[in-house]
């Protein structure tokens, strides 16, 4: 079965410090990968998605970047954190091939809670 991991689970960082959040998926190959941010009362905002190694699409221009160095690894980064970067960051994956429902069903990781002070 497939499993998605995120770390760290929680993180407290000062303003202006760098950020690196990691997401890995086990038990599947060639997944589409996604980064979302969830702020209180605002639902889930798609930040980046990737359909393959080195392929990144950005949905919202901001202080963050993403990279996909390996097929099942997705990294969210920032060079200098802002207070507004605080939130709950979720990684998700979907099947890239197969029946349509399988391709569209997103499975979420446990999330990383980031607090920027």
Partner 1 sequence: QQQVKQSPQSLIVQKGGIPIINCAYENTAFDYFPWYQQFPGKGPALLIAIRPDVSEKKEGRFTISFNKSAKQFSLHIMDSQPGDSATYFCAASKGGADGLTFGKGTHLIIQP
Interacting residues with partner 1 (CB under 8 A): 32, 34, 41-44, 46, 49, 51, 57, 59, 90, 92, 94, 96, 100-101, 103-111, 113
Please choose, from the candidates 21, 6, 24, 4, the residue with its C-alpha nearest in 3D space to the C-alpha of residue 71: 24
Helix (H, G, I), strand (E, B) or coil at 15: coil
Least Å distance, CB 24 to partner 1, is: 14
* Beta carbon nearer to partner 1, 43 or 69: 43
Least Å distance, CB 16 to partner 1, is: 27
| 42 vs 37: CA distance, rounded Å | 10
* Beta carbon nearer to partner 1, 81 or 95: 95
Least Å distance, CB 80 to partner 1, is: 27
* Beta carbon nearer to partner 1, 58 or 73: 58
Least Å distance, CB 78 to partner 1, is: 21
Helix (H, G, I), strand (E, B) or coil at 84: helix
E strand residue ranges, the chain: 3-7, 10-13, 19-26, 32-38, 44-52, 55-58, 65-70, 73-78, 87-94, 107-108, 112-116
* Beta carbon nearer to partner 1, 20 or 30: 30
């Amino acid at each position: 079965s497939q499993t998605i991991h995120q770390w760290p689970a929680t993180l407290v960082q000062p303003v202006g410090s760098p950020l690196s959040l990691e997401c890995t998926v086990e038990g599947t190959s060639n997944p589409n990968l996604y980064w979302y941010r969830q702020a209180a009362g605002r639902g889930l905002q798609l930040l980046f998605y990737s359909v393959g190694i080195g392929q990144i699409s950005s949905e919202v221009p901001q202080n963050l970047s993403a990279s996909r160095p390996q097929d099942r690894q997705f990294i969210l980064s920032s060079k200098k954190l802002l207070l507004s970067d605080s939130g709950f960051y979720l990684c998700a994956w979907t099947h890239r091939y197969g029946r349509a429902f399988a391709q569209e069903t997103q499975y979420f990781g446990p999330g990383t809670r980031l607090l920027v002070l």
